[in-house]
Structure 1
């Protein structure tokens, strides 16, 4: 560095060090990826999504990654702290996964899926009988449509929500015939575009739970005075 400074006619302290980016495996320095990744209000969606995938096997679609990273940033901004993988799971669960009865957690949202019974015929639409908990009251509503999801949207129209499914993704959470599935559904609800998430052993039920998740998030946003900004969900 002294020779370089002399050649440039400047002091050694004025030389700018050009250090290349050197990727390393955290295991080489006795650390884990989880210990290296620190999430705060300035963090992007990559680290957040990695922690959910490595810890919970949740492979979020890109636009959902963007939407959820905003929720994490709001959480860290409000508290001025970093969050770890367990904190991120709690934020994700609170945002997208209504508490099930007996979980000991406070439920949120107007709607909860209790049970479904589907039937179809070769020359007619599919029929879906749905038992819903609607604002604490059990209701049985029957909808028709081209498949169970379309019939479920008909059920939601009957209880006051006009929902349009814009995008959909799903995957198994583990190997085996009894593995649970995760469904991610992007919906237009009212004037908002937002995602819902459902987890269930049945991929069809997971999809319906994901739609309910989006509807409940929409209603909660109205109560809290916040709405999804389409510009922030990757469109």
Structure 2
């Protein structure tokens, strides 16, 4: 067997930190959120968004509640520049929203970026240059001092152009790109030089974005780097610590969450994790993670289906059916035990009186994100009796009693096994009707039946008797009988047993109404047991509950065969 050569990789270096505090911290407030869907997300698309699509995405992000939105790399292309200008010139930017533009630390690109945001009331110029060992040695072939000089010169120019613009609403963000591949002491050295060049202070803070440009370590090691940085920065109050996590190891959300514990103030990410390679940190997942812990994220994902639809239309990207919170299947249970637990949990929810969500297997109320309860339980060959019963009750008002559920679940599983398909609620309903209510070729069927009550006829219990006169066809032959009992069903069972030589007793019985008002029908469920020990369940539907119970008994008789 071929063996993968793990020896070509080395472990990520540990951070020299003692007495780390982040493991004992809790996230009790939302960070500042910055969406990068229109820049980082857009540049990762096979077909980048058009200006119209970017406008639609921008409006979506605003409606969700993002107050900082990276809208593009305006020096990179005419389309990017035109989009930023359209936002400014058509006054599409709300007063409480700050747009952000990205630029490399190169003079002509910085100048072009300032041209793009001219006239914007609030804007962040996000400048970066790569500082990692690998990039310095292999890509740029420059020393640490030369790389730091690029950052400092770019910062000086940004400060000059801000002063020339006269706009107090322009802020500055700096990213030592590939922070995860940069020596910590050097990353801090460069950021200190940038802060000094900008003139950073508590009144004029710089945003220091410390990106996991390539996810290279466990999330806890990234948290160690953030805590170390926050401890050693020369003036913590003069910097807003931002993180931008990529998902190369599949842990970008955890990386961002732990970074918050370690002292970060601000999170950059994209809807549904869109971005280069394995994507950016997923804003939907992280925000709703906070929401499920009782923390107000400040973002509104109450209509996830709509957000998902706009995202799909603008990006031409799909959302995985198992995507946290937003996938088509995440509020769906196929496992029988899960279905049963969800069904019971939904019925019991709220009974504790504290209003807290407490339904098994559902960490969030689907209704909170605009999803329908109707899709919670779906049926296939792995489904159990609880899930099957839940579907019929939820969609059709049919409340199969527990003692009958195993019989019907067996029929559902048998059909699912034969077809190898998921069964829709409509098909499950038809299966119930065909198998328990309206048997297609019954051997026993009711032809006539009249029911009356006689106060003059007393039973041994002293109750008034119920009188029944019925005509029943059994295997092509008609039998007629008159009988009395303590109710219509009791009288029918006695009379039928005397005339047909099929002695049965009703072992279980349940009934309820289907629907409301004058058009409501009654449904009855019975389980009968024969003298020879055989048993069967049946159901009957009629506008008259007495006739429904008799029809249910006939259904059970037919199912005996």
Q: State TM-score, norm by structure 1.
A: 0.75
Secondary structure of the residue that 2:441 maps to in structure 1? coil
**Residue 186 of structure 1 aligns with which residue?**
527
Structure 1 or 2, whichever has the larger Rg, is: 2
Cα distance in 2 for residues equivalent to 1:22 and 1:135? 51
Aligned residues: 206
Q: Which stretch of the first structure deviates more once superposed, 202-211 or 128-137? A: 128-137
Equivalent positions of 1:1-235 (< 5 A) are 2=218, 4=220, 22-99=362-439, 107-119=440-452, 120=454, 121-123=456-458, 125-157=465-497, 158-189=499-530, 190-219=532-561
Q: Which stretch of the first structure deviates more once superposed, 183-192 or 198-207? A: 183-192
Change (3 A) 1:136 1:25: farther
Cα distance in 2 for residues equivalent to 1:123 and 1:163? 24
Cα distance in 2 for residues equivalent to 1:93 and 1:163? 23
TM-fit CA distance, 1:28: 4.5
Secondary structure of the residue that 2:469 maps to in structure 1? strand
Secondary structure of the residue that 1:167 maps to in structure 2? strand
Cα distance in 2 for residues equivalent to 1:150 and 1:35? 41
CA contact (8 A) 1:34 1:85 kept: no
CA contact (8 A) 1:128 1:142 kept: yes
TM-fit CA distance, 1:30: 4.8
Change (3 A) 1:23 1:145: same
CA contact (8 A) 1:183 1:199 kept: yes
Change (3 A) 1:3 1:182: closer
CA contact (8 A) 1:55 1:85 kept: yes
TM-fit CA distance, 1:195: 1.3
TM-fit CA distance, 1:64: 1.2
CA contact (8 A) 1:165 1:186 kept: yes
Change (3 A) 1:22 1:51: closer
CA contact (8 A) 1:156 1:163 kept: no
Cα distance in 1 for residues equivalent to 2:502 and 2:447? 18
Change (3 A) 1:110 1:26: same
TM-fit CA distance, 1:27: 4.1
Cα distance in 2 for residues equivalent to 1:48 and 1:3? 41
TM-fit CA distance, 1:4: 4.4
TM-fit CA distance, 1:22: 4.8
TM-fit CA distance, 1:212: 0.7
Cα distance in 2 for residues equivalent to 1:87 and 1:126? 39
Cα distance in 2 for residues equivalent to 1:4 and 1:193? 61
Change (3 A) 1:2 1:33: same
Structure 1, unpaired ranges of 5+ = 7-12, 100-106, 220-235
CA contact (8 A) 1:165 1:185 kept: yes
Cα distance in 2 for residues equivalent to 1:193 and 1:151? 20
Q: Deviations over 1:135-164 (max 9, x none)?
A: 344442222333322211122212132111
**What RMSD, in angstroms, separates the aligned Cα atoms of the two structures?**
2.9
TM-fit CA distance, 1:3: 5.7
CA contact (8 A) 1:127 1:142 kept: yes
Cα distance in 2 for residues equivalent to 1:148 and 1:132? 15
Structure 2, unpaired ranges of 5+ = 1-216, 223-248, 255-288, 293-360, 460-464
Cα distance in 1 for residues equivalent to 2:510 and 2:362? 35
**Residue 103 of structure 1 aligns with which residue?**
none
Q: State TM-score, norm by structure 2.
A: 0.34
Q: Which stretch of the first structure deviates more once superposed, 89-98 or 169-178? A: 169-178
Cα distance in 1 for residues equivalent to 2:408 and 2:431? 9
Cα distance in 1 for residues equivalent to 2:218 and 2:395? 49
CA contact (8 A) 1:184 1:198 kept: yes
Q: Deviations over 1:205-225 (max 9, x none)?
A: 111111111101002xxxxxx
TM-fit CA distance, 1:29: 4.8
